[in-house]
Amino acid sequence: MQLDLASRDDEFKEVTASMRRLILSLLGNAEDYSVVPIQGGGSFAMEAALSSFVSRIHKPLVA
């Protein structure tokens, strides 16, 4: 049977924290960055990336 972890389980929090630390260690200078896991498909990540680079007054055109 597969293991099912809920987002509020301690084990889930430990796995997520470990994953974030691992990704930060790959960046080298981890103190300058933070990792935010995003659930969803690739379009979720693209929207998050785009919204972090574009201010509220600008309107990007995606073609």
Per-residue pLDDT of the chain (63 residues; tens, 9 = 90+): 687 888 899 999 999 999 999 998 898 877 877 888 888 888 888 888 888 888 778 777 776
Assigned domain for 39 exists: yes
Domain count, the chain: 1
Which structure tokens are listed for 49?
A: 């990336």
pTM for the model stands at 0.63
Query: For residue 62, which of 41, 43, 40 has the smallest C-alpha distance?
Result: 43
Assigned domain for 62 exists: no
Alpha carbon of residue 4 to chain centroid: 20
Which structure tokens are listed for 45?
A: 């990540």
Assigned domain for 49 exists: yes
Assigned domain for 28 exists: yes
Assigned domain for 45 exists: yes
Cβ(44)–Cβ(50) under 8 Å?
Answer: no
Owning domain of residue 45: 10-53
**CB environment 4-31: b (16+ within 10 A), e (fewer):** eeeeeeeeeeeeeeeeeeeebeeeeeee
